[in-house]
Amino acid sequence: MAGNSSKVFEAMGHGALDAVATPVFDFSGNATGAGELIAKINSLKRLIHGKSYFKPVIAKRAARTGFPLIAIGSSTGGPKALGTILSLLPENFNAALVIIQHVDQRFAAELATWLNKQTPLSVSIAVQGQSPAASNVYLAGTNDHLIIDRYGRFAYVAEPKEYPYRPSVDTFFYSLLDNWGAKDAAVLLTGMGKDGADGLSRLKESGWMTIAQDEKSSIVFGMPKAAIELNAAVKVLDPERIAGELINLYAKKGI
C-alpha cells in the first residue's frame, strides 16, 4: 500500500468508492483477505441502498476555544476535492479543520500523509482525547465515528452501529451542535448517498456557515445534492471557491 498510496487516492479522487487489499491465494488455493473484500462489498451495498440512521449525540457544550473549527465531510471523489481546498489555504490559516472522509481505517493514515504533501498546513489523524488546534488538519482515522466530546476533544464512538457510513459525517456534525461552543463553518463535498446532509441542515439552522460542493465539480453529486434539497447550504461552490470563501470568511472576523 505504501508504494501505491498516491495511485489509490488519485483513483478515489476520480470516483473509486473505496480501497481494499487484494485477496491472496496460497498453494492450496485458499484465499487470504477474501472475507475483508466481501465485508467491504456488503458495506458499499448498505451505503448505496441503506436507510439513514440519525442519532444525535447529546451532551453539554465545551468552552469556546478562541479559533474557528471548519468541519468537512466527503466521500466518493473526496480526496481530489480535499487536496484542492487544502492546497489553497495559507500556512498561517488560523483555524482547525476536521475531515470526515469515507475511507477504511487501513488507508486513513496513508490518506493523511498524501494530503499532507499538498498543503502547508499540518495534516494528521485525529487522536482520541486530543484537542484540535489552529493551523492543523485532522482526519477521522478509524471505522468508528469521530466526534467532538463535551470537553471539546476528539473521541471515537461505535454508535450508531447500523449506520451505513463509517465514519459518519452526520455523527460528527451532530456532535458539533451539542459540544462545540461556537458557530463556525461546515462543508459537504462530493460523495455517494446522503451522509452529512441532515447534519449540515441542522448546523445551518443553528447559525453555522454551511457550504456544499456544486454539481459540475462533484465526481458524485449525491451528498451535496441531498444537502441542497434540504436547503442546508448557505453557498454552493466548487473546491477552489470553497477555499477562497473560507479564507475570506475568517478574514472578515479579524482572524
The set of catalytic residues is: 75, 102, 195
C-alpha–C-alpha distance, residues 12 and 22, integer Å:
16
Q: 125: Cβ–Cβ under 8 A, 6 or more apart, which residues?
A: 108, 109, 112, 138, 139, 140, 141
C-alpha–C-alpha distance, residues 146 and 99, integer Å:
10
Give strand pairing partners of 191.
Answer: 221
C-alpha–C-alpha distance, residues 235 and 226, integer Å:
14
Is 28 buried (19+), middle (13-18) or exposed (0-12) by CB count in 10 A?
exposed
What residue type is 225 in one-letter code? Answer: K
C-alpha–C-alpha distance, residues 145 and 59, integer Å:
16
